[in-house]
Amino acid sequence: MARRAAFFFVCCLSYLNSPDFSVTSSRQVLRGPGGVLPNGELRDVYDMEPSTEAREGPLQLFASPIYRRRIRREEDAVRELNEEIAVNFKRLMVRDEKGVEWSKTDYAGGYTSYFSLPALQKWVPPIQTLEQWLKPHIEEFRKEAGLLEEPELFMTDCWANVMGEGTEHCFHQHNRSTISGTYYVQTPRGCSSLLFEDPRLDRTVAKRQRKVIACPAIAGFVVLFESWQRHTVPPNAGEGERISVSFNYHWRYEEPTKLQREA
């Protein structure tokens, strides 16, 4: 239970009253039928875990984990890394003219390198260190989310976020990615949390109150989630700048280039 305490879950709940309904307790996996349907269409092959345990009541099915942990336990090393990242981001806010200009209208009151410099892991040393520290977390999340072991997951994008007073990031999701996440560098008191939207909202005809789950921003913590999860950061009301590093991971479907191997 302690190991799972770092996970939030955005779930589809099935309210099933039949005593005959079963929930999987065995890890044996059966292969669903493939082949061709009578109309000529292909039938998908699927994995199916046999149900052996009968239960009643609400059941959490098809849950998508949201992972939140300290990046490392060595506080001095984490503090040093955060200071180095913050210094580099301050330099970008002066030198990245394209990013500064874009942020004036699309990230008002703050700065992001998303539009101008979206691959910081390839050339910013402290971000390269962060990428190495993220590896065990990515692997743990991959297992918890039930994602395939192959092909390899690698960091495709990484960018800076500096949120000033009132800066916000509207609801969005990360397309063309598998795992997305944020690492918190500086989180002043009162700064905005990361909010996740209930994913069932656009998949039901029933009226449902809009629901979000707040994940507090704490310096030294990493948050990971499946990239399709819609999320937002409301206007920052903290006593200072809220600084974070955002990133995406995706499958490596082909032989990596020399640059990718070195990244």
Q: Say whether domain 67-262 belongs to CATH 3.50.50.60.
A: no
Question: Based on the number of CB atoms within 10 Å of its own CB, is 98 exposed (0-12), middle (13-18) or buried (19 or more)?
Answer: exposed
Question: Based on the number of CB atoms within 10 Å of its own CB, is 44 exposed (0-12), middle (13-18) or buried (19 or more)?
Answer: exposed
- Interatomic CA distance for residues 59 and 22, integer angstroms: 10
Residue 258: what pLDDT?
52
Residue 130, helix vs strand vs coil: helix
Express each pLDDT in 123-153 by its tens digit.
Answer: 999 999 999 999 999 999 999 998 988 788 9
Residue 1: what pLDDT?
46
Residue 209: what pLDDT?
73
Residue 162, helix vs strand vs coil: strand
For the whole model, what pTM was predicted?
0.80
Residue 104: what pLDDT?
95
Question: Which secondary structure element, helix H or strand E, spans residue 34, and what is its range?
Answer: none
Q: 150: Cβ–Cβ under 8 A, 6 or more apart, which residues?
A: none
Q: Where in the chain are the domains?
A: 3-63, 67-262
Q: Which residues of the chain have pLDDT under 70?
A: 1-34, 43, 45-55, 59-60, 204-208, 253-263
> What radius of gyration do the chain's Cα atoms show?
21
